[in-house]
């Protein structure tokens, strides 16, 4: 599924995040996938996006520079494929 700035998303309830110096490891207990989140900014957005009505609101709340938003949309779209996040 493609994520847009208007998408409401959340961390999948079967996913655990383990903080690491580079960002975090995300492990899905249902499908047993392990995914590396390679930047602390993406980790912050993934953790809090369920508290916002859209990805745009989550990015603004976390202080992510608007010039970086397209890369976040792309990264989060790939996380839906591995079911780390889900679009509501």
Written as six digits, the tokens of 6 are 């208007």
Confirm whether 42 is domain-assigned: yes
CATH of the domain at 49: 3.90.930
Tens digits of per-residue pLDDT, 35-47?
999 999 999 999 9
The domain tally of the chain equals 1
Considering the domain boundaries, does residue 3 fall inside one?
A: no
Domain range for 67 is 9-87
Q: Does residue 78 lie within any of the structural domains?
A: yes
Residue 29's CB is within 10 A of a number of other CB atoms, namely 11
pLDDT one-digit tens code per residue, 16-39? 999 999 999 999 999 999 999 999
Distance, in Å, from the CA atom of 12 to the CA atom of 68, rounded to the nearest integer, reads 23
- pTM of the predicted structure, to 2 decimals: 0.92
């Amino acid at each position: 599924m493609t994520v847009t700035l208007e998408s409401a998303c959340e961390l999948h309830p079967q996913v655990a995040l383990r903080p690491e110096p580079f960002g975090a490891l995300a492990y899905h207990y249902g499908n047993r996938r392990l995914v590396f989140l390679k930047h602390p900014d993406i980790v912050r957005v993934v953790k809090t996006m369920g508290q916002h009505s859209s990805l745009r609101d989550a990015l603004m709340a976390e202080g992510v520079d608007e010039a970086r938003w397209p890369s976040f949309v792309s990264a989060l779209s790939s996380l839906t494929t591995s079911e780390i996040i889900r679009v509501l």
